[in-house]
Chain A
Amino acid sequence: MSDPVLQVIDLTKRYRATVALDHVSFGLRAGEVCGLLGENGAGKSTLVKALSGVVAPDQGSIRLRGNPFSPTSIVEANRLGISTAFQELSLVPSLSVAVNLALPHPPRNVAGLVSSREVRRRAELTLARYDVTDVRPDDIVGQLPLGMRQRVEIVRALARNPSVLLLDEPTSALSDREWLFRLIDRELNGRISILYISHKLDEIRRLCRRCIILRNGCKVLDSDLAAMSDGDIFTNMAGRSVVEAFTRRASSVRKGAAARLRIENLAGPGLDDVSLALAPGECLGVAGLEGQGQSALFRTLVGLPPATAGAIALDGVTMPIRSARDARSKGLVLVPEDRKAEGLFRDLSTLANVSLPVISTVSRFGLIDRRGERKAVARVTPAVDLAERYLNRNIGALSGGNQQKAVLARALLAGAKCLLLFDPTRGVDVGAKQSIYAMMAEFVGNGGSILFYSTELDELVHLCDRVLVIYRGRIVGEAREADLTQAAILSLASGTHPGSVAHAVPAVEAVQ
């Protein structure tokens, strides 16, 4: 085989205490689609950023067609032949599709002004070339649904005629995956190589012959896919075999008890009509493709923003939840998705982060009683296995896993009777994951209830008593007992099995 088009040698990148990439090396051959797999926080995104010129690696080098490649900007990376469709989408919302496709250097006329006619003409050609028929060049990107934006993002990356194309979770919001697969099959003619980042195994199997697996910043596998079973791949991604990772515990659902949390016909921004019931001692999973309303569901439950319709009842008492303060006083506590922006107070010590919910009650004469504060915190840190020595450190200096343990400890201290955990193991190391699983088991064992969303399907399958599948702001199905498998969840989540909706309704009622 010919020399690799792209060669990554010993690439290393650190962010403070965390090593995001640890001496990663691999090659990409011409005309190849190579899968890049890994759990959240394994270093996939950092690798993408290093390859596309967004971040500079601390060590190691990259070679493109044999030449050293160290771009200082995205534009330079594009010019040298690497372009990227980012997961978080790099389109400017207030500009039209046509202008976005033309950035950063829209064509100019003789007067030096940007020629809007030329911009539109080129956009029409580009959209047609890549079979995008339902997006018009004049559409404002911010007003398009997420799936369409993702297609525009992919088209823009392709239109730059790269020799290496990076697709970072390109189907996270895409309803029509076949469009992308067709495009890849067609464009792939030996001229372009694709690094396909995903954690959906079926896509990887459909498109790639070879895959690379990252775990905790290290490359743990680089192999032909044909030789690997799904189990092998999961084992490599998680760093443990699926069986040993989740010690199966007896369900602690208090059967016959009145529902802890009952939601009826809840609606709000991004949320169409959701009903569910959560029993004491139950861990209820929520699954769904990105952007199907799961985030809205969790946020509406703590009043951010309040629901526009429907009812929320806790322990049989229906009450409006207008703010997170309301929710907390009723025992509903959210552990948010975006830990950095919404979970942490980076200027405070770990101790102060954890003690915030009870800080007013551990005061004497209007001043904080430091010993009381420490005592209160010590009540919850063992449950999440957070070592005492971290308490005095600034929380920003902790690893992702310890940060998340602190956030969970805070949720316990806030007096949660019903924990709303939104992807709590994102960017968390294996050890911390185990602590989080143990904490969850203990919490439900003591009669608490958990509503649990995760992007890792195996977590849902192994930790939950039931899993509800959300699609376009509605619950479209439920997987339980024998049906609680990754395959069942996936088929429900893609909205391809409308028949299962009928089965879902009695299932919800059965718990009530």
Chain B
Amino acid sequence: MTTETEQAVQTAATRPHPAPKLRARLLHPDLVPAALVLVATVTLIVGLKLTIPGFGSLPQLTAILVTAIFLVVASFGQGLVILTGGIDLSIGTVIGIGGMIVANLTRGSDDMLLYALPMALLCCAGIGLVNGLGVAIARLPPFIMTLSSSIAFFGVALGMTAGSSQQSVAPALQRFVAGSWLGIPLPIVFIVLFALAAVLVQNRSPAGRQIYAIGSSPRAAAILGLPVAGLTVAVYTVSGLCSGIAGVLLAGYSSSATLDMGNALLMPTIAAVVIGGARVTGGAGLYVGTLAGALFLSTLSTAITALSLSQGLRSVIQGAVIILALLLQSRQGDRLTS
């Protein structure tokens, strides 16, 4: 009798768990976090609609998407860096610097925009390049390198400007952020195109594949002769460039720039990547997940503003979802190894 029960318990324990198999058939396992986050986003919107009458009008939903643009862009760079097993803590400062350069060079007119835009993006990519060289060549820990360069370049920018732009940014840029095409706001068109390009780069290009390999096992990548240093530098440069784009857009959105305007975006970029299912030690994660994470976090921001809650709560939730996402990931890992 006892042995029979024991046997029954044993077979039950050794039988493969049916749930993951079923889910795997419905949805690729890598897409699960993205789907969960999207569901959470929709739930949040529906919940808000129920609690706040008048919430959830089309313009309001469009506004959420439009304000998501900065996070969508900046977190692509962060995502690539995290994919290699690093982290970029300079994103906040670089966004500020990008915005300041455009604002200070254009001074309220469109004349200089064609010069100011490449200038801003080049400078931001340059900061990313410095980060990349520090990580790949000098072999500094990524968070130290990017935090240090963030502080140092903030100092440089503070020395060259007064910390905020004296005049408004080029009107053309403001029109782009507020404009629409065939009734669709231009930022949303931009988001769609950007996301499409990002997915292709990260998940369909040879360089993207090699970046996954580097993040998965840097030692194996080196032995195989993959261009580890080159791609690492490239990834940080792209992150700087993305932050620059986000900064330029943010300057256009708020019609002027301050040096510290990007600081509030740094932690959300990390949160977006992590809750999107990327592994912080590198090698795993899809841009689709990061995109979903960015949408969720901007919906959350809107919700907190709409409910007139403390901005502190937003940080608490952001931090908590990072930890929660990490916990969920580690449980998934346990199941794989056991």
A binds B: yes
Known: A304-B222, A368-B204, A368-B206. A345 touches B227 (CB 8 A): no
List the B side residues contacting A360 at CB < 8 Å. 206
- B166 on the interface (CB 8 Å rule)? no
Partner of B223, one of A334, A352, A363: A334
Total A-B residue contacts, Cβ distance less than 8 Å: 84
- A244 on the interface (CB 8 Å rule)? no
Nearest chain A CB to B205 CB, angstrom units: 6
- Please tell me which stretch of B51-59, B210-218, B316-324 contacts chain A, meaning at least 4 of its Cβ atoms lie within 8 angstroms of it: B210-218
Tell me the nearest residue of chain A to B203, going by C-beta: A368
Known: A16-B337, A325-B225, A347-B284. A359 touches B220 (CB 8 A): no
- B39 on the interface (CB 8 Å rule)? no
Known: A323-B225, A367-B205. A345 touches B210 (CB 8 A): no
- Please tell me which stretch of A133-141, A336-344, A438-446 contacts chain B, meaning at least 4 of its Cβ atoms lie within 8 angstroms of it: A336-344
Known: A304-B223, A323-B225, A325-B227. A345 touches B205 (CB 8 A): no
Partner of B205, one of A334, A342, A348, A366: A366
- 0/1 string, A419-448, CB within 8 A of B gives 1: 000000000000000000000000000000
- Inter-chain CA distance A302–B336, complex, in Å, is 34
Interface of chain A: mostly helix, strand, loop or mixed: mixed
Q: Are A345 and B217 in contact (CB under 8 A)?
A: yes
- B23 on the interface (CB 8 Å rule)? no
- A121 on the interface (CB 8 Å rule)? no
Contacting B at CB under 8 A, from A311-347, are 323-329, 334, 336, 341-347
Known: A345-B216, A345-B217, A348-B213. A359 touches B206 (CB 8 A): yes
Nearest chain A CB to B329 CB, angstrom units: 13
List the A side residues contacting B209 at CB < 8 Å. 348, 352, 356, 359, 368
Partner of A324, one of B217, B222, B336: B222
Nearest chain B CB to A191 CB, angstrom units: 38
List the B side residues contacting A341 at CB < 8 Å. 217, 219-220
- A414 on the interface (CB 8 Å rule)? yes
- B195 on the interface (CB 8 Å rule)? no
Known: A352-B209, A356-B209, A359-B209. A346 touches B223 (CB 8 A): no
A interface residue count range (under 10 / 10 to 19 / 20 to 34 / 35 or more): 20 to 34
Q: Are A345 and B212 in contact (CB under 8 A)?
A: yes
List the B side residues contacting A363 at CB < 8 Å. 205-206
- Inter-chain CA distance A213–B110, complex, in Å, is 82
Tell me the nearest residue of chain A to B337, going by C-beta: A16
- A410 on the interface (CB 8 Å rule)? yes
- A106 on the interface (CB 8 Å rule)? no
- A306 on the interface (CB 8 Å rule)? no
Tell me the nearest residue of chain B to A327, going by C-beta: B225
Partner of A359, one of B210, B215, B222, B336: B210
List the B side residues contacting A323 at CB < 8 Å. 222, 225
- A31 on the interface (CB 8 Å rule)? no
- Inter-chain CA distance A341–B283, complex, in Å, is 14
- Inter-chain CA distance A16–B336, complex, in Å, is 8
Chain A interface residues (CB < 8 Å from chain B) = 16, 302, 304, 323-329, 334, 336, 341-348, 352, 356-357, 359-360, 362-363, 366-368, 396, 410, 414
The 9 closest A-B pairs by CB, nearest first: A324-B225, A325-B225, A328-B225, A347-B216, A347-B283, A345-B216, A359-B206, A360-B206, A367-B204
- Given A344-B220, A352-B209, 13 other A-B contacts at CB below 8 A? A16-B336, A302-B225, A304-B222, A325-B225, A342-B217, A344-B217, A345-B283, A346-B216, A347-B212, A347-B279, A360-B206, A368-B206, A410-B224
16 intermolecular pairs with C-beta atoms under 8 Å apart = A302-B223, A328-B224, A328-B225, A336-B223, A341-B217, A342-B219, A343-B223, A345-B216, A345-B217, A345-B283, A346-B283, A348-B213, A356-B209, A366-B206, A367-B200, A368-B204
